[in-house]
Amino acid sequence: MKKAIFIMLLLSPFMTINAQRKLETINEYWRFERSDVNSAQDAAFNDQNWDIVNLPHTWNADDAMKGINYYQGIGWYRKKMISKISQDKKYCLYFEGALQDVYVFVNGKQVGRHQGGYSGFRFDVTSYLNKGNKAVNQIAVKVDNTLNPSIAPSAFSADFNFWGGIYRDVYLEEYNQVHFRNDNYGSKGVFVETPEVSNESASVKIWGEIKNEGLNALSVKIKNIIVDAEGKIVKELISKLKVESGKNTPFTALSGKITTPKLWSPDSPYLYRVKTQIIEEKTGAILDLIDNPLGFRWFSADTKQGFMLNGKPIKLIGACRHQDYEGLGNALSNDLNRYDIKLIKEMGANYIRISHYPQDPSVLEECDKLGLIAWEEIPIVNAITPTKEFFENCRINLTEMIRQHYNHPSVMLWGYSNEILIGGYSDALGELHKELEALCHKEDPNRLTGLAFHASPLYNKKGLGDLPNIVGWNRYEGWYRATLADFGKFLDEENTKYPNRPLIVSEYGSGSDTRLHSLSPESYDFSMEYQQLFHASYLKQILERPFVIGSSIWNFIDFGVSKRGESMPGINNKGIVRYNRKPKDIYYFLQAALTKKPVLYIASRDWVDRIGTSASINENFAKQQVKIFSNLPEVELLVNGKSVGKQKVVDFTAVYEVPFEDGKNILELISGNQKDVCIVNFKVLPYDLRSSKDKELVVAVNAGSKCFFTDPDNRVIYQPDQAYREGGWGHIGVDLTKKTTLNMPHNVKATTIDPLFQTARLGMEAYKFDVPDGRYEIDLQFCELQESEAGKRVFNVSINNEEVLSTFDLFELSSSLTASIKTYTIEVKNGKGIRVDFKAITGQPIISGIKLTRL
């Protein structure tokens, strides 16, 4: 539970200190029920059988990770609040975010409704509260996370989980009768901007409104104190106002010239603060105080100089960020939100795309502090609903985002849709975008706008590309389509067609599963090695093109998407860090490329358990590739104390063919006085399996795949498929003139090791294993990957000439996309090894994996 936060003036010791606004979290001890309950808003309702939760909280942290049909509906929260409630004070409930259709009740009466899951909102509850030193008040909150066509994102969209609940902090706020306006779209009510900034001087404009809820007019002073990062007063501005009862009175303060300001930038995120007070003129009492960050910077974007910050070109390089976390859903603490921003910054990024919705206040606070330029957007994703209600909700969402985050110097771009034409174009969609573009500039004429498009020519044909200041393209050449080189071709063609249009790569990425590795990686195999190739290629192509003002990786984290059925069902695994925030190897490639600090990293932390076969009968080791990521000029690698050579680092990478021995291998990487160490556990299979003395010999085949696959629970490593050679193992009789493999990354039922069953070998005559004599357990692993029907694929299977499956029909057994394992035991004699034969009856035989275990 957070402690109460009291905002008090500490700068001027001679000023009278009085109670101003009081902000206190009320996150603790809520009762919760995940269902719609009649009369749950009533003060006398009995909630003793409900669960007890603390906020932040989501009701989908578990079920959204277990299947497509996670709970989307109504949940109720109730809290008995015992606190001092004064007759002469004003009170609000402030929610940093609840998803998404929210009704708030106090003592049985509705005080407000908010639609939209990602913005803060505030309700005045003064007249609903019981007063007294230990007043008892019952708060009830009804939250609905059903996809609602009237609320963005629309029901068509959302390639991310729609976590329900009060998943950010909630505050009870106490005010004096005269205070800064608190009903201004969830904002603080005081706005700070910098009309003029240069290296030599700057000016500050501070404006807002004062709300007088007292019975009488009052003469007040507005005092603005600008302090630097060390707390030294830079400027003090005082003006006088008379605030009429029942009215909002506007005020504006101009600082005049501030000489030689310290500028805010990613390299030097210098922050001033602006402390704005309402002081009662007669008594000197401080009635209210707001504290805001202030950063002096100026920026622009064009195709000739790119993105300019403080008069200097800067390439925006960073990542997109979703807000969920393994085991927590979207109910993150402020510390976890801040940790994400620190990780992004430590990677070497100078930019973040906060996608696809406004996020917790701690996110932008940390961006201000650490120096990440931010693009923030509202959740209009993939499609719209062409109704008045949806359009109005979008306008409100955009206004809330801008007003709530107006004062953050890190924010330089506002966005208002992503890949919107996936759902198709309509005139209504075009009009909405024109309206939102105009609204952005009306609300904030000082920042740029950006839109994120996907691979459709309609964005340009329909004029959407002409609307924002910056056009973003989400590109996946070499992943979902085309080749890696086609990415650069697209960028060049787009720049040729629109030479005056600033372009940013708003998304790019490839999936990666730490269980999948390949020595010959290829597109859409989900191997860690292909992700490394992908990012190295994209980053180089981006950096080579001055007209590309920047880029953001999709995504910083692996994140939850219940409907995704790729190698990790329920997870979009394009992250450069895992769901639990452990960095993947690729994170350190980017760190080497983007930071000035020395980086020396053995890129095998994601692959510390390996298997391989020696290259000849005389060798007792197996060579496999190991990558090195570094920004140092030369590196040397030692394996078990022996040098395997020095190499020049090219494009932040060096590649070694490492002779792994059976057992533990200690890899030491050295460059000057820098060192990195990694331990790899390796299983060496002999060139001739018949010579193996291993009493627990395991040979496992990832049929139809070029990837090693590790089953982490059973500690089995499946090797990439291969053709048979004498003394070894592999497939026989594959007709390479025909399609002989299938790769269908969709959810597979009845297994937790989906990748093994998402690929398959087709049409083989047999698999042969020249294993030594002994007793073996044989697992034959099947999955029908194609849409089919009974009778379309039927075959027999024999092991060492004994038929074990007759007229085997996978679809008849379990339909498609269902794992099926048949286990047999066999005695191998006379050096004959094991042969598994497949005989087609109808269609082609299929196999996903074979595992032999010596007993």
- Residues classed as catalytic: 419
Q: What separation in angstroms does the CA of 279 have from each of 7, 177, 493, 527?
A: 14, 12, 60, 63
Among 205, 263, 216, 196, CA closest to 239: 205
Instruction: Burial-class residue 568 by CB neighbours within 10 Å (0-12, 13-18, 19+).
Output: buried
Instruction: Burial-class residue 241 by CB neighbours within 10 Å (0-12, 13-18, 19+).
Output: middle
Cα–Cα–Cα angle for 488, 491, 496, nearest 5°? Answer: 125
Mapped to the 3 state alphabet, what secondary structure does 640-668 carry? CCEEEEEEECECCEEEEEEEEECEEEEEE
Q: What is the C-alpha to C-alpha distance for residues 348 and 363, in angstroms, rounded to an integer?
A: 17
Q: What is the C-alpha to C-alpha distance for residues 762 and 793, in angstroms, rounded to an integer?
A: 11
Residues with Cβ within 8 Å of residue 493, at least 6 apart in sequence: none
Q: What is the C-alpha to C-alpha distance for residues 103 and 568, in angstroms, rounded to an integer?
A: 36
Rg (CA), the chain: 31
Q: What is the C-alpha to C-alpha distance for residues 775 and 561, in angstroms, rounded to an integer?
A: 44
Among 578, 483, 574, CA closest to 537: 483
Helices (H), 470-584: 484-497, 528-543
Cα–Cα–Cα angle for 765, 769, 771, nearest 5°? Answer: 160
Q: Which two tokens stand for residue 422?
A: 């996936």
Q: What is the C-alpha to C-alpha distance for residues 837 and 854, in angstroms, rounded to an integer?
A: 20
Residue whose token pair is 């060390």: 230
Cα–Cα–Cα angle for 442, 445, 446, nearest 5°? Answer: 155
- Beta strands 849-854 and 774-782 are antiparallel
Q: For the chain, how far is it from start to end, CA to CA, in angstroms?
A: 55
| φ and ψ of 443, to 5 deg | -70, -35
Q: What is the C-alpha to C-alpha distance for residues 796 and 43, in angstroms, rounded to an integer?
A: 69
Residues with Cβ within 8 Å of residue 56, at least 6 apart in sequence: 27, 165, 166, 167, 168, 169, 330, 331, 332, 333
CB-hemisphere CA count at 13 Å for 436?
Answer: 32
Q: Which two tokens stand for residue 347?
A: 């990677």
Q: Three-class SS of residue 458? A: helix
CB-hemisphere CA count at 13 Å for 121?
Answer: 22
Question: Is the peptide bond prior to 720 cis by the omega test (within 30 degrees of 0)?
Answer: no
